[in-house]
């Protein structure tokens, strides 16, 4: 890229960072208003958990649909449409006469608008940076969720305490509309990777550049299944973070509302330096010739194992402060797949199929969000006499799943092997001779 394109690429990256920041602030507000909302609307923990899960009812379907659209429609227009959807559906929640059906409808439509957001933002970012340079800009985009959750804690908590729990929804709706307007002015489509399917750190070859493979080949391989498994389990952590973490801090550990906001901010804020440092480390390894399997797959899997163990420690006889530390560290170490997972998929898929594949991965994996909040609500309600124990049982269950997914990831994640096998089998419509030439390339 020339200097002008480089500047534009980083400007687009900054806008995508803000896009994801607003996206996750929209998610965080639901957990932050949990206690007053349950009180005013007379919602039991089980009902509140089901409302939280309703957010994911159309989340996955929208992600798949928009993923295939991204193969044909510019990301610029799709991202603007999503921002408009999730901004507009915030406004009904401002009403003091809000009913349960209205709340559920708003959450379902919000999920429809937010389901495709992360894979589309990554797809748009990849169009500005080649494979060996994507770790850092992609991870910057990934930090949008953490910053959104971090800022949401104190700012939205202040609005709730100063006004009422309806006020944050009005503010978020306006902020989303402002971003959409700016994006239509600033957003552009990148041109990098119009024919790339090379593994990390390798130049593209004419044999496989832009090649199309059957979706059966692209989806039913060890690398995709490994990414999908870890992404699914670790998205359960994300869903619990913005639905139940604030309630646990207040009702389980006894912190007041404003302190809860700041602690919630500190927990998700800890994700940022950890993932940025590891992204830089991984990119340095890639540039020095380390395989994507090691530089991305092993890091994702190893830190998932450690994160799972830390979640299990919340059930130990620790002080409230140490339990907060376990949640913060466990959450930070189990977020790498959201940055490195799509990068491993992009190691073996061409840009013409990448949008769909990232959308499919994200949409299937985020079904965890449909399950985790509702299950946690049931566990908490079953332990109503000791709510802290209910939350901690839920954290231990998800911690075990994260640990197991990390162990399996050590075996499954191998982008170079997946790419080689795809080339040996040949693109769609390729003759055996072409497939052999591609595998030699």
State the Cα–Cα distance between residues 202 and 196, nearest whole angstrom.
10
- Predicted confidence at residue 300, as pLDDT, reads 92
Q: Is residue 171 part of a domain?
A: yes
Helix runs in 75-134, H state only: 75-88, 100-114, 117-126
- Predicted confidence at residue 194, as pLDDT, reads 53
Q: Is 336 helix (H, G, I), strand (E, B) or coil?
A: coil
Give residue-wise pLDDT tens across range 207-233: 344 567 888 888 889 999 999 999 999
**pLDDT < 50 regions, the chain:** 195-209, 430-441
- Predicted confidence at residue 202, as pLDDT, reads 40
Q: How many domains does the chain have?
A: 1
Could you tell me the CATH number of the domain that includes residue 333? 1.20.1250.20
HSE toward the beta carbon, residue 344, CA cutoff 13 A: 38
Give residue-wise pLDDT tens across range 257-311: 788 878 877 877 777 788 778 888 888 898 888 999 999 999 999 999 999 999 9
Q: Is residue 381 part of a domain?
A: yes
- Closest by CA position to 358, among listed 116, 145, 19: 116
Q: Is residue 192 part of a domain?
A: no
Is the dihedral angle over the CA atoms 244, 247, 249, 253 positive or is it negative? Answer: negative
Q: Is residue 194 part of a domain?
A: no
- Predicted confidence at residue 193, as pLDDT, reads 57
- Predicted confidence at residue 423, as pLDDT, reads 85
Length of the chain: 441
In 10 A of CB 260, how many CB atoms? Answer: 25
In 10 A of CB 58, how many CB atoms? Answer: 18
Residue 327 Cα distances to 253, 321, 403, angstroms: 13, 10, 14
- Closest by CA position to 412, among listed 230, 257, 244, 290: 230
State the Cα–Cα distance between residues 138 and 246, nearest whole angstrom.
28
Please name the residue that has the structure tokens 């797809």: 123
Q: Is residue 193 part of a domain?
A: no
Find the domain containing 392 and state its range: 3-187+200-440
Q: Is residue 59 part of a domain?
A: yes
């Amino acid at each position: 890229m020339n200097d002008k394109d480089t500047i534009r690429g980083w400007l687009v990256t900054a806008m995508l960072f803000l896009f994801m920041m607003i996206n996750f602030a929209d998610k965080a507000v639901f957990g932050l208003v949990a206690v007053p909302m349950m009180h005013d609307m007379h919602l039991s923990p089980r009902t509140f958990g089901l409302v939280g899960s309703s957010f994911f009812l159309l989340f996955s379907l929208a992600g798949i649909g928009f993923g295939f659209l991204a193969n044909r429609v510019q990301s610029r227009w799709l991202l603007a449409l999503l921002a408009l959807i999730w901004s507009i559906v915030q406004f009904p929640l401002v009403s003091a006469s809000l009913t349960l059906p209205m709340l559920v409808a708003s959450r379902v439509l919000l999920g429809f608008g937010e389901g495709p957001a992360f894979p589309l933002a990554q797809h748009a970012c990849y169009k500005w940076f080649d494979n060996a340079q994507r770790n850092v800009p992609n991870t910057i985009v990934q930090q949008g969720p953490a910053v959104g959750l971090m800022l949401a804690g104190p700012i939205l908590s202040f609005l709730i305490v100063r006004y009422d729990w309806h006020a944050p929804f009005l503010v978020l709706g306006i902020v989303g509309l402002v971003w959409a307007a700016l994006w239509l002015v600033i957003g552009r489509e990148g041109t990098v990777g119009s024919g790339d399917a090379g593994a990390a750190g390798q130049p593209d070859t004419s044999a496989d550049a832009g090649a199309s493979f059957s979706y059966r080949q692209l989806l039913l391989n060890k690398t995709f299944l490994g990414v999908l498994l870890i992404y699914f389990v670790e998205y359960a952590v994300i869903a619990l973070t913005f639905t139940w973490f604030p309630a646990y801090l207040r009702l389980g550990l006894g912190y007041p509302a404003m302190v809860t906001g700041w602690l919630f901010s500190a927990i998700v804020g800890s994700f940022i330096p950890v993932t940025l440092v590891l992204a830089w480390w991984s990119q340095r390894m890639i540039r020095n010739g380390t395989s994507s399997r090691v530089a991305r797959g092993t890091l994702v899997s190893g830190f998932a194992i450690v994160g799972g163990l830390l979640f299990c420690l919340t059930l130990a006889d620790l002080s409230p402060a140490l339990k907060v530390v376990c949640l913060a560290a466990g959450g930070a170490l189990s977020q790498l797949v959201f940055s490195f997972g799509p990068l491993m998929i992009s190691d073996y898929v061409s840009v013409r199929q990448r949008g769909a594949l990232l959308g499919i991965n994200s949409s299937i994996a985020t079904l965890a969000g449909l399950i985790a909040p509702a299950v946690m609500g049931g566990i908490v309600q079953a332990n109503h006499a000791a709510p802290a124990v209910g939350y901690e049982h839920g954290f231990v269950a998800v911690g075990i799943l994260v640990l197991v997914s990390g162990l399996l990831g050590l075996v499954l994640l191998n982008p170079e092997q997946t790419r080689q096998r795809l080339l040996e089998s040949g693109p769609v419509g390729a003759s055996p001779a072409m497939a052999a030439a591609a595998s030699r390339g």
